[in-house]
A and B are shown apart, each in its own frame.
Chain A
């Protein structure tokens, strides 16, 4: 039982390049989330997926797109990377509303640098 996994762990991009961050969970959770964490700050929600087939914007969605590929996988895409997107990205999952559980479980993170 791996929990939440993320790939890659590290990535360096040049301004304007695109890439997709992958996330998968094996806990049969309904809901999944993408956060970014900047130095000395808490986590800010980028996008979330309440259940398979749905996605919605969080606090800081500009410059990102997401895909809920199936119940297990939730990807985050940067179409044209900018230096302001240099950050650590975390994926998380939770059981969702059906169980009235709001406990989120996080992956190890992807450290992205945009030059």
Chain B
């Protein structure tokens, strides 16, 4: 079945640094979603991407839909302590638009 692999699994960065993470699949995706989950909370949608090559920003966050449709990237600029959390990529599978799969997440820690 389709799988989403996220890297890195975890990262520790200094406040103010930029962050890059990615999500890859062996299958084509038509939609990429990026979520952030704070400890003890549900995931919150950050960015949605619908077209190959699309580049979308949300404040300090920028995400790109890879040209091959098999990957997506999320960048965070000038990180701050509240960026701490787990970042997930997700998308609807080709077997059905309601069947979403999620990556295993990138755990981000920001050192002040």
Determine if chain A interacts with chain B. Answer: yes
On chain A, the residues within 8 Å of B105 by CB distance are 41-42
Contact residues, B27-75 vs A (CB, 8 A)? 31, 33, 35, 40-45, 48
Chain B, interface size category, equals 20 to 34
Q: A104 at the A/B interface (Cβ < 8 Å)? A: yes
Number of A-B contacts (CB under 8 A): 62
| B97 adjacent to A42 (CB under 8 Å) | no
Complex Cα distance A40/B9, Å?
Answer: 10
| B48 adjacent to A42 (CB under 8 Å) | no
Interface string of A20-56 (1 = CB under 8 A from B): 0000000000010101000011111100101000001
Chain A, interface size category, equals 20 to 34
On chain B, the residues within 8 Å of A90 by CB distance are 42-43
Interface string of B82-112 (1 = CB under 8 A from A): 0000001011100001111111110000000
Which of these, A33, A92, A108, contacts B41 with CB under 8 Å?
A108
| A106 adjacent to B43 (CB under 8 Å) | yes
On chain A, the residues within 8 Å of B41 by CB distance are 108-109
| B45 adjacent to A104 (CB under 8 Å) | yes
| A45 adjacent to B33 (CB under 8 Å) | no
- Taking the closest CB of chain B, its distance from the CB of A76, in whole angstroms, is 15
Which of these, A31, A58, A97, A102, contacts B31 with CB under 8 Å?
A102
A and B contact pairs by CB, cutoff 8 A, 23 listed: A4-B42, A33-B98, A42-B103, A42-B105, A43-B43, A45-B100, A45-B101, A56-B98, A59-B99, A90-B42, A102-B31, A102-B91, A102-B92, A102-B97, A102-B100, A103-B33, A103-B45, A106-B35, A106-B42, A106-B44, A107-B42, A109-B40, A109-B41
Closest 6 A-B residue pairs measured CB to CB?
Answer: A106-B42, A42-B102, A43-B102, A42-B104, A102-B31, A48-B98
- Mark B residues whose CB is within 8 Å of A: 4, 31, 33, 35, 40-45, 48, 88, 90-92, 97-105
Q: A33-B100, A103-B33 are in contact. List 14 more A-B contacts (CB 8 A).
A: A31-B98, A42-B4, A42-B103, A42-B105, A44-B102, A48-B98, A58-B99, A102-B100, A104-B45, A106-B42, A106-B43, A106-B44, A108-B42, A109-B41
